[in-house]
């Protein structure tokens, strides 16, 4: 007969014959609550198949059970020193022992859940208190920030008024008065085809005209033109 084994994660293995399936069981490859089927349609617990002799349960620690499984699996765990020295091993009667193990596990789980719930309620109460304190502190910070903002707004309004006042004063002081400009083109007295000298040429050592000579020439020319001529030369009205 061919067999298929389905583990708790839903994976299906097989088909295998009776001998191969029993070898899997003794190697611990068939989980205590694995499914067993011949046709991949109807399934039952592998531990309920008498041929597999999955009749043994081990309580490694109080309230922690493993099984039902084959005795060979438990012997291998003992040899590997995977079980505690105080573990209890008993044979499953395909009903009472399993129900007892499930009931004890359920009781232990309910106890653990109750403890977790108490801790959770305590933690929630602490978080609530902390949140209320935090909200109160934030309200105080917001009130202080609002007061600061109102003070800054008042200062800004006073500053804006002062800026407007200063701008009005500046506008009054810098008021542009209309001016009439006249331009008169003067004909040069001397026309030369040569370009004017550069600054480097003027300050070149040995140049025939020193800066003092040029200044004296300019003063002499201004004296020759007189005050009215100088104003006319520089385009001044008066």
pLDDT tens, 26-77?
999 999 889 999 999 999 999 899 999 998 998 888 888 888 999 999 999 9
How many CB atoms sit inside 10 A of residue 68's CB? 26
- The pLDDT score that the predictor gives to residue 109 is 77
- pLDDT of 187 over the 70 cut: no
Q: Check if the beta carbon of residue 7 is closer than 8 Å to that of residue 31.
A: yes
Can you tell me the mean pLDDT for 206-233? 66
Of 176 and 83, the structure prediction assigns the larger pLDDT to: 83
Q: What percent of the chain has pLDDT over 70?
A: 72
Can you tell me the mean pLDDT for 80-107? 74
The CA distance from 141 to 79, in Å, is: 67
The CA distance from 35 to 24, in Å, is: 13
- The pLDDT score that the predictor gives to residue 61 is 85
Can you tell me the mean pLDDT for 160-174? 85
The tens digit of pLDDT for each residue in 102-144 reads: 677 678 778 888 888 888 888 988 888 888 888 988 888 888 8
- The pLDDT score that the predictor gives to residue 179 is 59
pLDDT band at 224 (very low <50, low <70, confident <90, very high): confident
- pLDDT of 219 over the 70 cut: yes
Can you tell me the mean pLDDT for 188-196? 58
- The pLDDT score that the predictor gives to residue 202 is 52
CA distances, 232 to each of 125, 224, 227 (Å)? 98, 13, 9
How many CB atoms sit inside 10 A of residue 182's CB? 7
- The pLDDT score that the predictor gives to residue 174 is 75
The CA distance from 28 to 152, in Å, is: 78
How would you write 85-111 as a 3-class SS string?
A: CCCEEEECCCCHHHHHHHHHHHHHHHH
How many CB atoms sit inside 10 A of residue 88's CB? 13
Can you tell me the mean pLDDT for 5-14? 90
Show me where the domains of the chain are located.
Answer: 3-94, 182-238
Q: Is 102 exposed, middle or buried (0-12, 13-18, 19+ CB in 10 A)?
A: exposed
- The pLDDT score that the predictor gives to residue 39 is 92
DSSP class of 12: E
- pLDDT of 211 over the 90 cut: no
């Amino acid at each position: 007969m061919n067999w298929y084994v389905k583990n708790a994660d839903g994976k299906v293995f097989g088909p295998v014959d009776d001998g191969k399936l029993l070898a899997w069981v003794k190697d611990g490859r068939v989980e205590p609550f694995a499914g067993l089927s011949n046709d991949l349609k109807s399934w039952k617990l592998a531990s309920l198949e008498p041929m597999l002799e999955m009749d043994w349960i081990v309580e490694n620690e109080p309230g922690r059970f493993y099984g039902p499984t084959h005795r060979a699996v438990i012997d291998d765990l003992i040899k590997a020193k995977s079980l505690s020295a105080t573990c209890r091993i008993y044979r499953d009667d395909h009903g009472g022992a399993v129900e007892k193990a499930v009931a004890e596990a359920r009781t232990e789980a309910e106890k653990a859940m109750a403890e977790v719930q108490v801790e959770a309620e305590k933690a929630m109460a602490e978080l609530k208190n902390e949140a209320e304190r935090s909200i109160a502190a934030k309200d105080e910070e917001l009130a202080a920030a609002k007061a600061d903002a109102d003070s800054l707004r008042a200062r800004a309004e006073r500053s804006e008024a002062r800026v407007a006042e200063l701008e009005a004063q500046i506008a009054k002081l810098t008021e542009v008065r209309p001016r009439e400009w006249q331009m008169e083109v003067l004909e040069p007295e001397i026309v030369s085809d040569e370009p004017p000298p550069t600054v480097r040429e003027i300050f070149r050592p040995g140049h025939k005209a020193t800066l003092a000579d040029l200044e004296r020439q300019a003063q002499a020319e201004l004296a020759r033109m007189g005050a009215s001529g100088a104003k006319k030369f520089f385009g001044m009205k008066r």
